[in-house]
């Protein structure tokens, strides 16, 4: 077989599978799929080295629609399966597709351990604050009081903030994006792949049938410039229709100020440091919620540490230097033996 | 040490084994070694001088085939059998496991041998243990998970996923007293029905059982071979008794073990993810990293030909049938059962799993006065060996002896319903003893 001298350039079309997409018309997942298919040709990996692992949920039908290796597994367990894939073949680019129920309810345990271990996988968490596939029960991220089929009088549960939980579990990379902002989503997906270690991307996704417009107070055209703060490493935390709102630190809390009022200048505005080891400010940013604060988007935290599978394999390679036995036969014949 | 010296005298054994042990263990503390050896000798000499007991014992050398021997325990043998399969197939061995009595020593043993490309992953729970193994299997490793009864219960859904996606996977269940938390440090064989049936839907998997500490090596190797060659999960049942027990083992040569042919495919022509080998009905194993063969697998029902998700009613039935038939056909690849003693007669004693030592001891004694009794010990549970019915047909009575309330007997009643079965059960967290077995055998024979 002749090798191509020129490496075939992949396009997003190479990642479109032949399956009919079954998501509801208007579902936010379509946009996410397209953004992922556009990002994949840019990550510098061979098509055969890309794997999608999903759990259960509308989100988790994703692998069937991407023309790559894919594994649709069981509810909540994708991080464990993805860890096995990555440990077995660290050369693969492993993407885990999950949802707010799959990752934070049944999958909560595996979620925190994947983050703790820092396995080099990209976790895309489609957060629509509802259980879509099972038709409309509340999820761990649903806002308190939401009336659903399993909470007709409204929930009394507190909800998780996925970013806060992730940082608590030791996440080295956390980013937040919106399904209807594909350009920024692609940038973040590329940053996630580039980052070595568990890269968690929370995608605010609209479930048009069971929780329509749940993020409208942040994503609606009328409010989005005032309700979204897109962070960039090294850039000041400025937002607003007139780009004149910003964040400062008032003692131990964040405060929204207006540049030009009360003597505030651009120099007073906090500059985002995504690479700061200390996660105190990242925690504050991740916790911001409308309407008192804008919601923080973009790459909120990105610090580097050797990923889990590299450490595991380094230990394995090291052990070969001091190996007592060079074959299983040698092992079997070692220790106390006797002849009859 | 003093008491040990007396025991040495009692059994007329030379002291050198313990003296060598003490010298090695206290190499850096020679005074300690010296004092222990002195105490050992003092006990021996005391018993000798005072003629402590009216007689001492001479244990004859066992009649074993010539060769090189070592002592081995079941859990270590299990680990080494898996490593042998890994070495012979050149597949990296992946263990996803969580500590649980009495299986933990398999994790310990494999964790020691990283240099053989063994990834021994201690997961956060039982489910992560098996799920990481399933991920590793998908990616092309020889994947294993180890546990005991409660862990097997937790792993049920994941075993179903491996079965549904037709991936090679070995699940080792070192059985212990149940139910629930049960008796973690006591032996029992009460997970057989769970192993054969314990998943949602029509979900048959291969089930085999080791029967001695040393044949845990062979059956672990066999579990890997069957999983890789038939592309389906294999549950290997052992138990606390043989896992922790040890016996002399005539050391095998890894190169002499049966060849294993993993079903990896790398050629796209004429290939579909669930296209089957006509003899075994197994699909091929195409791992990520293989060019131009990208495909998706999952737990949903899939089309017989294309492998895409399908809800077509007749297709589902066809798939259920083919997955069942694939496991049934494994019977064409496993050995026949062999009878000890009479090949036809008044009574056939049946056992399975770790009770072999007890049953064989009792049977050998009975054989001395009765030449119309046979004994069969099963290592292959699902599917059953092909000659099962023909062997069973030669006896007037069949007695199934199990350390549970009757589980293998239910399999026999279902799969080989043409015979009448009687049972002898013990559920005390203890192995059988010779006396109770002989009583049970004689009760049938005298009736």
Question: pLDDT (tens digit, 9 = 90+) per residue, B166-181?
Answer: 999 999 999 999 999 9
* Residue of chain B whose Cα is closest to the Cα of A322: B115
- Please list every residue in chain A whose beta carbon sits closer than 8 Å to the beta carbon of residue B161: 73-74
Q: What mean pLDDT comes out for the span A75-89? A: 98
Q: Which residues of B242-263 are buried (b: 16+ CB within 10 A; e: fewer)?
A: bbbbbbbbebbebeebeebebb
What CA–CA distance (Å, rounded) separates A213 from A143?
A: 13
ipTM of the complex: 0.97
**Cβ neighbours of residue A280 closer than 8 Å, sequence gap 6 or more:** none
Give residue for tokens 């859990």: B75
Beta strands in A16-101 (DSSP E): 50-54, 69-72, 93-99
User: CB A319 to CB B128 under 8 A?
Assistant: no
A181 C-beta neighbours (distance < 10 Å), count: 20
Closest to B64 in 3D by CA, of B258, B311, B251: B251
Check residue A6 and give its pLDDT: 52
Pure H helices in B139-186: 149-154, 156-164
Closest to A124 in 3D by CA, of A219, A64, A198, A196: A198
Closest to B158 in 3D by CA, of A87, A78, A123, A90: A78
Q: Which residues of B201-218 are buried (b: 16+ CB within 10 A; e: fewer)?
A: eebbbbbbbbbbbbbbbb
User: CB A337 to CB B140 under 8 A?
Assistant: no
B102 part of contact set with chain A, CB < 8 Å: no
Mean pLDDT score across all residues of chain A: 96
Picking from A113, A322, A328, the nearest residue to B83 by CB comes out as A328
Q: Is the model's pLDDT at A1 over the cut of 50?
A: no
Encoded tokens for B106? 């398999």
Mutation site for B-interface testing, chosen from A40, A54, A71 by largest number of B Cβ within 10 Å:
A71
Give residue for tokens 């840019």: A42
What CA–CA distance (Å, rounded) separates B195 from B205?
A: 8
User: Phi, psi (5° rounding) for residue B256?
Assistant: -90, -5
Q: Which own/partner contact pairs does B274-281 have at CB distance under 8 Å and 24+ positions apart?
A: B274/B166, B274/B302, B274/B303, B274/B304, B274/B305, B274/B307, B275/B305, B276/B322, B276/B326, B279/B329, B279/B332, B280/B229, B280/B230, B280/B326, B280/B329, B280/B330, B280/B333, B281/B322, B281/B325, B281/B326, B281/B329
Query: How many residues appear in chain B?
Result: 447
User: CB A81 to CB B134 under 8 A?
Assistant: yes
Q: Is B61 helix (H, G, I), strand (E, B) or coil?
A: coil
A233 part of contact set with chain B, CB < 8 Å: no
Q: What mean pLDDT comes out for the span B3-16? A: 94
Q: Is the model's pLDDT at A281 over the cut of 50?
A: yes
Q: What mean pLDDT comes out for the span B64-72? A: 96
- Please list every residue in chain B whose beta carbon sits closer than 8 Å to the beta carbon of residue A16: none
- Please list every residue in chain B whose beta carbon sits closer than 8 Å to the beta carbon of residue A323: 115
A338 part of contact set with chain B, CB < 8 Å: yes
- Please list every residue in chain A whose beta carbon sits closer than 8 Å to the beta carbon of residue B157: 74
B234 C-beta neighbours (distance < 10 Å), count: 28
Q: Is the model's pLDDT at A8 over the cut of 90?
A: no
What CA–CA distance (Å, rounded) separates A177 from A215?
A: 12
B264 part of contact set with chain A, CB < 8 Å: no
What CA–CA distance (Å, rounded) separates A126 from A96?
A: 11
What CA–CA distance (Å, rounded) separates B407 from B425?
A: 10
**Cβ neighbours of residue A295 closer than 8 Å, sequence gap 6 or more:** A176, A218, A227, A228, A229, A288, A289
- Please list every residue in chain B whose beta carbon sits closer than 8 Å to the beta carbon of residue A63: 296, 298
Encoded tokens for A279? 């996660």
Distances (CA, A) of A2 to A6, A47, A120, B434: 12, 18, 33, 70
Percent of chain B with pLDDT over 90: 96
Distances (CA, A) of A153 to A100, A129, A157, A233: 22, 17, 12, 43
B122 C-beta neighbours (distance < 10 Å), count: 15
Q: What mean pLDDT comes out for the span B46-72? A: 90
What CA–CA distance (Å, rounded) separates B177 from B74?
A: 17
Contact A99, A130 (CB under 8 A): no
Picking from A81, A319, A338, the nearest residue to B115 by CB comes out as A319
Give the tens place of pLDDT for each residue, A155-181: 999 999 999 999 999 999 999 999 999
DSSP B13: -
Q: Give DSSP secondary structure letters for B370-413.
A: -SSEEEEEESEEESPPTTHHHHHTTEEEEEEEESSSSSHHHHHH
Closest to B40 in 3D by CA, of B21, B60, B61: B21
Mutation site for B-interface testing, chosen from A20, A74, A80, A330 by largest number of B Cβ within 10 Å:
A80
B68 part of contact set with chain A, CB < 8 Å: yes
Q: Is B313 exposed, middle or buried (0-12, 13-18, 19+ CB in 10 A)?
A: exposed
A 19-48: CB under 8 A from B = 19, 46-48
Closest to B97 in 3D by CA, of B135, B127, B141: B127
Closest to A143 in 3D by CA, of A217, A51, A38, A72: A217
Mutation site for A-interface testing, chosen from B131, B155, B273 by largest number of A Cβ within 10 Å:
B131
Q: Is the model's pLDDT at B260 over the cut of 60?
A: yes
- Helix (H) / strand (E) element for B143: namely strand B142-147
Query: How many residues appear in chain A?
Result: 340
What CA–CA distance (Å, rounded) separates B20 from B375?
A: 42
Angle, alpha carbons B425-B191-B151 (nearest 5°): 145
Give the tens place of pLDDT for each residue, A115-157: 999 999 999 999 999 999 999 999 999 999 999 999 999 999 9
* Residue of chain B whose Cα is closest to the Cα of A90: B139
Encoded tokens for A30? 């379509």
Give the tens place of pLDDT for each residue, B122-167: 999 999 999 999 999 999 999 999 999 999 999 999 999 999 999 9
User: CB A109 to CB B143 under 8 A?
Assistant: no
What CA–CA distance (Å, rounded) separates B336 from B163?
A: 25
**Cβ neighbours of residue A192 closer than 8 Å, sequence gap 6 or more:** A122, A173, A175, A199, A201
User: CB A315 to CB B128 under 8 A?
Assistant: no
* Residue of chain A whose Cα is closest to the Cα of B295: A69
Pure H helices in B165-214: 192-197
Q: What is the CA radius of gyration of chain A?
A: 23
Q: Is the model's pLDDT at B268 over the cut of 60?
A: yes
What CA–CA distance (Å, rounded) separates B40 from B42?
A: 5
Encoded tokens for B205? 């998997």
């Amino acid at each position: 077989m002749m090798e191509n001298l020129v490496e075939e350039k992949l396009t997003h079309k190479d990642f479109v599978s032949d399956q009919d997409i079954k998501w509801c018309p208007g579902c936010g997942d379509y946009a996410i799929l397209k953004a992922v298919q556009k990002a994949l040709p840019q990550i510098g990996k061979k098509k055969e080295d890309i794997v999608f692992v999903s759990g259960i949920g509308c989100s988790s039908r994703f692998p069937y629609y991407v023309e790559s290796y894919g594994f649709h597994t069981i509810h909540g367990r994708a991080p464990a399966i993805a860890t096995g894939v990555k440990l077995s073949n660290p050369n693969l680019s492993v993407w885990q597709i999950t949802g707010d129920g799959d990752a934070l309810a049944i999958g909560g345990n595996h979620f925190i351990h994947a983050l703790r271990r820092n396995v080099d996988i990209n976790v895309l968490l489609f957060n629509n604050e509802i259980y879509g596939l099972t038709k409309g029960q509340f999820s761990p991220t649903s806002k308190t009081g939401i009336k659903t089929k399993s909470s007709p009088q409204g929930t009394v549960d507190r909800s998780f903030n996925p970013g806060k939980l992730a940082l608590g579990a030791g996440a080295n990379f956390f980013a937040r994006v919106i399904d209807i902002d594909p350009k920024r989503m692609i940038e973040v997906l590329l940053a996630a792949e580039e980052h070595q270690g568990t890269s968690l991307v929370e995608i605010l996704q609209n479930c048009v049938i069971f929780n329509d417009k749940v993020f409208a107070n942040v994503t609606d055209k009328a409010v989005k410039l005032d309700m979204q703060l897109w962070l960039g490493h090294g850039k000041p935390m400025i937002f607003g229709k007139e780009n004149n709102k910003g964040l400062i630190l008032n003692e131990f809390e964040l405060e929204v100020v207006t540049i030009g009022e009360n003597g505030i200048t651009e120099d007073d505005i906090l500059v985002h440091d995504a690479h700061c080891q200390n996660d105190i400010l990242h925690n504050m940013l991740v916790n911001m919620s409308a309407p008192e604060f804008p919601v923080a988007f973009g790459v909120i935290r990105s610090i580097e540490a050797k990923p889990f599978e590299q450490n595991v394999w380094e230990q394995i390679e090291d052990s070969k230097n001091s190996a007592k036995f060079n074959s299983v036969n040698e092992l079997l014949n070692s220790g106390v033996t006797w002849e009859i | 040490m003093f008491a040990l010296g007396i025991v040495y005298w009692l059994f007329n054994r030379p002291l050198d084994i313990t003296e060598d042990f003490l010298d090695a263990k206290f190499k850096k503390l020679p005074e300690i070694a010296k004092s222990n050896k002195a105490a050992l000798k003092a006990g021996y000499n005391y018993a000798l001088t005072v003629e402590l007991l009216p007689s001492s014992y001479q244990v004859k050398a066992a009649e074993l085939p010539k060769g090189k021997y070592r002592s081995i325990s079941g859990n270590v043998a299990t680990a080494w059998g898996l490593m042998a399969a890994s070495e012979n197939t050149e597949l990296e061995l992946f263990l996803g496991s969580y500590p649980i009595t009495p299986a933990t020593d398999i994790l310990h043993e494999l964790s020691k041998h990283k240099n053989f490309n063994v990834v021994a992953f201690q997961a956060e729970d039982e489910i992560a243990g098996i799920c990481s193994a399933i991920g590793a299997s998908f990616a092309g490793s020889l994947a294993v998970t180890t546990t005991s009864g409660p862990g097997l219960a937790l792993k049920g859904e994941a075993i179903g996923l491996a079965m549904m996606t037709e991936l090679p996977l070995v699940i080792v269940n070192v059985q212990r007293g149940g139910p629930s938390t049960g008796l973690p440090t006591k032996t029992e064989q009460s997970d057989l029905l769970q192993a054969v049936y314990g998943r949602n839907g029509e979900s048959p998997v291969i089930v085999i059982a080791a029967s001695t500490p040393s044949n845990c090596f062979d059956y672990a190797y066999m579990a890997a071979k069957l999983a890789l060659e038939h592309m389906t999960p294999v549950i290997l049942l052992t138990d606390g008794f043989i896992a922790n027990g040890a016996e002399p083992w005539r050391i095998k040569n890894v190169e002499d073990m049966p060849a294993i042919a993993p079903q990896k495919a790398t050629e796209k022509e004429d290939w579909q993810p669930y296209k089957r080998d006509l003899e075994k009905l197994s699909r091929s194993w195409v791992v990520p990293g293989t060019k131009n063969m990208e495909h998706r697998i999952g737990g949903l029902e899939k089309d017989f030909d294309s492998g895409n998700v399908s809800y077509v009613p007749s297709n589902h039935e066809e798939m259920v049938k083919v997955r069942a038939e694939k496991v049934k056909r494994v019977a064409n690849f496993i050995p026949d059962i062999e009878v000890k003693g009479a090949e036809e007669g008044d009574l056939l004693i049946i056992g399975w799993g770790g009770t072999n030592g007890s049953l064989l001891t009792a049977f050998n004694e009975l054989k001395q006065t009765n030449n119309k009794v046979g004994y069969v010990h099963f290592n292959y549970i699902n599917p059953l060996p092909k000659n099962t019915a023909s062997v069973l047909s030669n006896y007037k009575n069949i007695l199934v002896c199990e350390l549970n309330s009757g589980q293998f007997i239910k399999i026999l009643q279902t799969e080989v319903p043409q015979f009448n079965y009687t049972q002898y059960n013990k559920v005390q967290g203890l192995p059988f003893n010779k006396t109770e077995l002989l009583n049970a055998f004689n009760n049938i024979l005298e009736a």
